[in-house]
Amino acid sequence: MASHIVGYPRMGPKRELKFALESFWDKKSSAEDLQKVAAGLRSSIWKQMADAGIKYIPSNTFSYYDQVLDTTAMLGAVPPRYGWNGGEIGFDTYFSMARGNASVPAMEMTKWFDTNYHFIVPELGPDVRFSYASHKAVDEYKEAKALGVNTVPVLVGPVSYLLLSKPAKGVEKTFSLLSLLPKILPIYKEVISELKAAGASWIQFDEPTLVLDLDSHQLQAFTAAYADLESTLSGLNVLIETYFADLTSGAYKTVIELKGVTAYGLDLVRGTKTIDLIKTNFPKGKFLFAGVVDGRNIWANDLASSLGTLQALEAIVGKDNLVVSTSCSLLHTAVDLVNETKLDDEIKSWLAFAAQKVVEVNALAKALAGQKDEAFFTSNATAQASRKSSPRVTNEAVQKAAAALKGSDHRRATNVSARLDAQQKKLNLPVLPTTTIGSFPQTLELRRVRREFKANKISEDDYVKAIKEEIKKVVDLQEELDIDVLVHGEPERNDMVEYFGEQLSGFAFTVNGWVQSYGSRCVKPPIIYGDVSRPKPMTVFWSSTAQSMTSRPMKGMLTGPVTILNWSFVRNDQPRFETCYQIALAIKDEVEDLEKAGINVIQIDEAALREGLPLRKSEHAFYLKWAVHSFRITNCGVKDTTQIHTHMCYSNFNDIIHSIIDMDADVITIENSRSDEKLLSVFREGVKYGAGIGPGVYDIHSPRIPSTEEIADRINKMLAVLETNILWVNPDCGLKTRKYAEVKPALNNMVAAAKLLRPQLASAK
């Protein structure tokens, strides 16, 4: 019985690629140095899977930024502003598209489906001249083959690539991206032909958009694309891989009828209903790559249950045609549990990271083939039973409090307009008030202080003193820049979710459980294993300390319940909304303590609210109802004069704008500039927004420093669709990933732009 892995984490067990990328970007190392690190990681990944007994090992899933950008490079679809003149695309052009450079901004970045991974959105139009400009897929196949590993090269499928793209600036929004299919397929044919010539026997096309709500025209594009590729694919085994949700009956029918396709990879963890479609109709002689091992969470597989599912599928598709697989790429989980030295043995026994999931896949394949490892299965069953019965998982008081939430919608008593009036009397802010989103640059010295405190190398007194000094530096800088509503810069926090999880019950933490978010940015999601509560205040000391250093309003900075949920590895033994309500009650306690401590502006970030939106429209309403309700729970008890902010970033918010309004926050700051001001279109179309709003005026994920005039121009575009008295001026997101040399001039220009426009607005009244 064969086994398969959809994809594997790239960063390395200790983020080796992250550090190599950042060293290269900072011009401290060469392209050859970066390539050497990358080659070492690829070699190690392939060897690990081969040693574990995996038959179908992927290649070309490694990336220096993301797989969609790799496909853009392969197709030569470089926007003209990057000055690329043809030939093989090098690092300069590639990273300029991803990160921008001193003269031009980056391409838009957005979430990869409903994950916390991101991709660079292709910008396409009728005039794009596609050409085969990156041979990465073929080069990596040959590289693996030279190491003695015959891999399955993976390409982002042509239809998904186009459906994930957007019309370039200046191209009509109604332009049909799928009309470009005949222009990109010749390049796919070149790649396929080279892979065949290099000796590939299998090829995997990732077509994850098949799980979305697609119309007949979109489904027909898949049929047309693979019919066109059929003759080129002749002689290859072709796997179409889908993941993250069920297939609709229409999409399933389309997939199983595709020309020249040998195998279908289906997510049977998040797509359990797809099993019914398989039972009804599975094409004879085709392979099913059954994704029964969860690629998006860190819980050990229930091997007995998965084996039962596989045995039922085996009876349908045939013994020789069933391949055990992961539900999706393991990119979305941590790398290796072996590196976790501080997790206690009980919790550790409940977990499986990417390396362990590879072993689980192979163990299930061997069990199906009659070579069951009884000791491994027994150990797994013991761990499953331990997790179900452990007293540390359940807190009766928390469950009662969450159950008591039913029956109220937890809205503040006064409408937002009246609250804003009361807040303005207290805060006395100017027109176009300026603020930042929360974090300031995390310097090497600051990281050293936190690291040494965690390792007990410095005392708590020394740690507190160092953090206070950093806060004072950030406060003084903001006052010098004349920012209106200040932040303390979050020097005590490595991560906006991890910091809170460390102080909440029901959470566990890893040492090296890093997961790639985008580029070199990695996060270490907490593990929610049990009921959640707040034993004591989490941020009050630092916020009060910061407020004592200034007479200006100081924001209390919290992460919202939906974002904590969506950016954690969440327990899978109860509905997600129940866990979210528990977190909301814990944050509510913190909000009320901040208010008692004299903090008049409290930001509750919900950066990931849109990210958790189900992929199917039929499931949107239920998710948005409990997600928005969770946010309202956190602040329903504060006074009218306490201003509640929230922040959202790097998703398409236009389709949930009414739910955002229903959150009933006093002010929302929201990413806008990197997505080419897409957000503003919703207001041009007539949506009325009465609360305060700060669409970001510059992209913080690029080192580029925008001019005062550029920012003023952005603000004027906002004023064309938003009322003057509700508009705030702020960056797209937090500043922790930037350097002070970039932050100071950018914020200086931002404040200057607001000051430039204030007199004009006053005279226009």
Point out the annotated binding site for Zn(2+): 647, 649, 658, 662, 671, 733
Token reading at 407: 């029956």
Task: Spell out the residues 6+ positions from residue 52 whose beta carbon is closer than 8 angstroms to its own.
Answer: 358, 359, 362
Binding residue positions for L-methionine: 437-439, 490, 605
Token reading at 124: 């396409």
Half-sphere exposure of 218 (CA within 13 A, CB side): 16
332, 629, 645, 701: the catalytic one is 701
Instruction: Please state, in angstroms and rounded to a whole number, the distance separating the CA atoms of residues 504 and 494.
Output: 16
Kind of pairing between the strands at 515-518 and 521-523: antiparallel
Query: Which pairs count as long-range contacts for 255-261, CB under 8 Å and 24+ apart, including other chains?
Result: 255/210, 255/222, 256/281, 256/282, 256/283, 256/286, 257/223, 258/222, 258/223, 258/226, 259/223, 259/226, 259/227, 259/230, 260/226, 260/227, 260/229, 260/230, 260/233, 260/234, 261/226, 261/286
Task: Spell out the residues 6+ positions from residue 597 whose beta carbon is closer than 8 angstroms to its own.
Answer: 540, 543, 544
Query: Which residue type, as a one-letter code, is found at position 195?
Result: L
CB-based contact 693:435 (threshold 8 Å): no
Kind of pairing between the strands at 505-508 and 527-533: antiparallel
Kind of pairing between the strands at 521-523 and 322-326: unpaired
Instruction: Please return the burial class of 170, using the count of CB atoms within 10 Å of its CB with bins 0-12, 13-18 and 19+.
Output: exposed
Name which of 220, 229, 225 is nearest 253 in CA terms: 220
Residue 81 CA, distance from chain mean position? 27
556 by DSSP, 3-state: which? strand
Binding residue positions for 5-methyltetrahydropteroyltri-L-glutamate: 18, 116, 521-522, 567
Q: Which residues pair with 528 in a beta bridge?
A: 507, 570
Query: What's phi and psi for 645, nearest 5 deg?
Result: -105, 155
Binding residue positions: 18, 116, 437-439, 490, 521-522, 567, 605, 647, 649, 658, 662, 671, 733
Q: What is the CA radius of gyration of the chain?
A: 26
- Catalytic, 701? Answer yes
Instruction: Please state, in angstroms and rounded to a whole number, the distance separating the CA atoms of residues 265 and 328.
Output: 9
342 by DSSP, 3-state: which? coil
279 by DSSP, 3-state: which? helix
Which residues does the annotation mark as catalytic? 701
